[in-house]
Each structure stands twice: as C-alpha cells, then as structure tokens.
Amino acid sequence: MEEKSNFETVLKWAVLGILAIVALRIALVVVGVAIGLASFLLFTVLPLVLVVWLVVKAVQWLSRPKDGGYTSSGL
C-alpha cells in the first residue's frame, strides 16, 4: 500500500473542517429561526389570542339568559 503524503492528509482534514463549520452554521441558523418564531408566537400572537378569547367569553357571559335556565345546547 502506498503511504499517504502529508499534503493529502492536511487537505482532507481541511475539507472536513470546512464542512463541519458549514454544517454547524446551518444548524445554528435553524435553531435561531426556531427560537425567533417561538418568541414571536409567544409574545405577539399568544397575547392577542388570549385577549380575543376573553372578549368572546365576556360577550357570551353578558348575553346569557337572565332567568338562569339552560340553553338548548345544554351548556
């Protein structure tokens, strides 16, 4: 078997190192996008959904029958 030269070994490890750095950057970008999307949903969309839900429940509570009877849906 032929002995590999030092140049081939260094070149192989350099290419592997560059590929590892590229893969790490892609993984960090994916994690960053996921964290950004989660924070947007948590701090922007969720409060709006909660406020709208509370308004709907308040309207339902204010428009309930005054005699205390049950509606036809049984709720």
Predicted confidence (pLDDT) at residue 74 exceeds the cutoff of 60: no
Q: Is 70 within the bounds of a domain?
A: no
Residue bearing the bigger pLDDT, 2 or 21: 21
Domain count, the chain: 1
Q: Is 68 within the bounds of a domain?
A: no
Is 0.85 topped by the overall pTM? no
Per residue in 15-39, pLDDT (tens digit) is 999 999 999 999 999 999 999 999 9
| Least confident interval from 29-33, 39-43, 64-68, 71-75 | 71-75
Question: Do 65 and 71 form a contact (C-beta atoms < 8 A)?
Answer: yes
Q: What range does the domain containing 48 cover?
A: 9-63
pLDDT above 90 as % of the chain: 76
CB atoms within 10 A of CB 28: 10
